[in-house]
Amino acid sequence: MAKTAILNVRIDPETKNNAENLYSSFGITISDAINMFLHQSLLVGGLPFDLKNPHYNAKTEAAMQETRDIISGKVQTKRYSTAHALIEDLEDEC
């Protein structure tokens, strides 16, 4: 039996390049990383990480960025001394 087997993987060039740069900073190759991934998968009996979707939709991302900009002072906002003053201002806009 052969000591190694060939595995062909299709991936976009940018992801491949970014992964090569990342793994080379650890002193390993993509092949080493894939071997580690497969061995860890066998060890845990599945994917060696939780599947999550940590990304937000564009509208939520924009809202979070707006909040960061307000907190940092990049964007000036109106301030109200009371909730009544806020409601009056909102009614005036309608």
Q: What is the pLDDT of residues 55-68, one digit of tens each?
A: 788 999 899 999 99
In a domain, 50, yes or no: no
Number of domains forming the structure of the chain: 2
In a domain, 85, yes or no: yes
Q: Which amino acid is at 45?
A: G
CB atoms within 10 A of CB 41: 13
In a domain, 2, yes or no: no
In a domain, 7, yes or no: no
Average pLDDT over residues 74-85: 91
Same domain, 39 and 63: no
Q: Is residue 54 scored above 80 in pLDDT?
A: no
Same domain, 37 and 62: no
Domain hosting 65: range is: 58-93
In a domain, 1, yes or no: no
Per-residue pLDDT tens for 6-49? 999 999 999 999 999 999 999 999 999 999 999 999 999 999 99
In a domain, 52, yes or no: no
CA 31 to chain centre: 24
Q: What is the pLDDT of residue 94?
A: 80
Phi, psi of 2 (to 5 degrees): -65, 150
